[in-house]
Amino acid sequence: ALSMCGLAKEFQSADDEEKNPWLVSISILRPGRGTEMCKGALVSQKYVLTAAHCFTIDDEADQITVKIGKKNFQVAALKSHPQYTVGKLRNLGIPEFYDYDVALLALRKQVTFSSEARPICLPCTAGTSRALRRPHPQTTCKEHEQELMPGGNIPALFVTPCRDKYLSTLGLRRRTVRIKNGDKKHSCEADAKKAKQYQNVTEVSQVVTERFLCTGGIEPEVDPNTCKGDSGGPLIVAKRMRYIQVGVISWGVVDLCKNNLRIECQNDNDHLEQAPSHARDFHINLFKVLPWLREELREEGLDFL
């Protein structure tokens, strides 16, 4: 049977991996320099989608371990987007440039899907047409974009670790944000200039290119913010209990999680007091990197439209 993407256990007592079976943890071992952590999403039996900025040009596949469900997988290949060039604007005093900040990890072994390991749906694939209950192959990629990314404020979610005060372990929590895709898009993007690293930015469009989606801020509602450790994780649109990835978490204006100030899994109003209005987060819009996704995932049976 065709493996169904974007399905999760919805019952309250399911464990975190069953509620978010596509969320993966990526660790990059750098001998003598510790380990870097990032998030990612399982998108097929063999591929994980994440952020290119999690890796340096010296990182090799054998330094990378991916945790899916409760199992660890080794990586056969790391494929960053060919147009990702973090140092492109250095001569303008802009140290980090995140355009095309996406990468695919090819796993050495295929993942056996289970309640704890299951792929998320990608835009413009047959799986997303099925998830949206739209006819395949009649439904077009354009129609996916119109349904998933309409104008205005689009409810979306990302998943972030939380501190469980009873178990004193790390759990996972879904955080709801709104993608500013209407009249709030401009002001969302303008706050990029408030990022410490971007004080030399004269024109916002230098760092916020067409590839980005913008979330965060306090209008129309207070949005929670990402932490650096959320880099590479999926930005998800939920439609009738099916989950479709529309973005990859790339960078943010303020890192509100310094000294691992984790949100608590139990309490609910934690983000209300601390988010400044210019605390925005930027995500790579998957609709803007489709040719690369099709090419790299062409043998994964995802049936791109």
- Contact residues toward ligand MVZ (CB under 6 A) are 53, 96, 195, 197, 226-228, 230-231, 249, 251-252, 254-255
267 HSE (CA, 13 A, CB side)? 10
53 among known catalytic residues: yes
Work out how close the CB of 132 gets to ligand MVZ at its nearest, in angstroms, rounded to a whole number: 28
Cα end-to-end span (Å), the chain: 20
Work out how close the CB of 244 gets to ligand MVZ at its nearest, in angstroms, rounded to a whole number: 21
Complex with ligand MVZ: residue 119 or 216, whichever CB lies closer: 216
Work out how close the CB of 260 gets to ligand MVZ at its nearest, in angstroms, rounded to a whole number: 14
Complex with ligand MVZ: residue 89 or 254, whichever CB lies closer: 254
Residue 262: both structure tokens together:
């984790």
Q: Are 122 and 43 in contact (CB under 8 A)?
A: yes
The DSSP string of 63-101 is GEEEEETTEEEEEEEEEE-TT--TTTTGGGT-----TT-
Complex with ligand MVZ: residue 7 or 235, whichever CB lies closer: 235
Which of 44, 80, 129, 231 is labelled catalytic? 231
114 among known catalytic residues: no
| Alpha-carbon distances of 294 from 125, 147, 254, 286, 291, rounded to whole Å | 9, 20, 33, 11, 5
Helix, strand and coil content of the chain, in percent to the nearest 5, comes to 20, 30, 50
Complex with ligand MVZ: residue 88 or 228, whichever CB lies closer: 228
Q: Is 281 exposed, middle or buried (0-12, 13-18, 19+ CB in 10 A)?
A: buried
101 among known catalytic residues: yes
Q: Are 86 and 56 in contact (CB under 8 A)?
A: no
Q: CB nearest ligand MVZ: which residue?
A: 252
Which of 99, 101, 223, 230 is labelled catalytic? 101
Work out how close the CB of 37 gets to ligand MVZ at its nearest, in angstroms, rounded to a whole number: 12
Complex with ligand MVZ: residue 69 or 232, whichever CB lies closer: 232
Complex with ligand MVZ: residue 131 or 192, whichever CB lies closer: 192
Work out how close the CB of 76 gets to ligand MVZ at its nearest, in angstroms, rounded to a whole number: 26
Which of 16, 53, 230, 278 is labelled catalytic? 53
Report the b/e string of 207-246 with b at 16+ CB within 10 A.
bbbebbbbbbbeeeebbbbbbbbbbbbbbbbeeeebbbbb
Work out how close the CB of 7 gets to ligand MVZ at its nearest, in angstroms, rounded to a whole number: 27
Alpha-helix runs per DSSP H in the chain: 16-19, 126-131, 141-148, 185-190, 290-296
Q: Give the catalytic positions in this structure.
A: 53, 101, 231
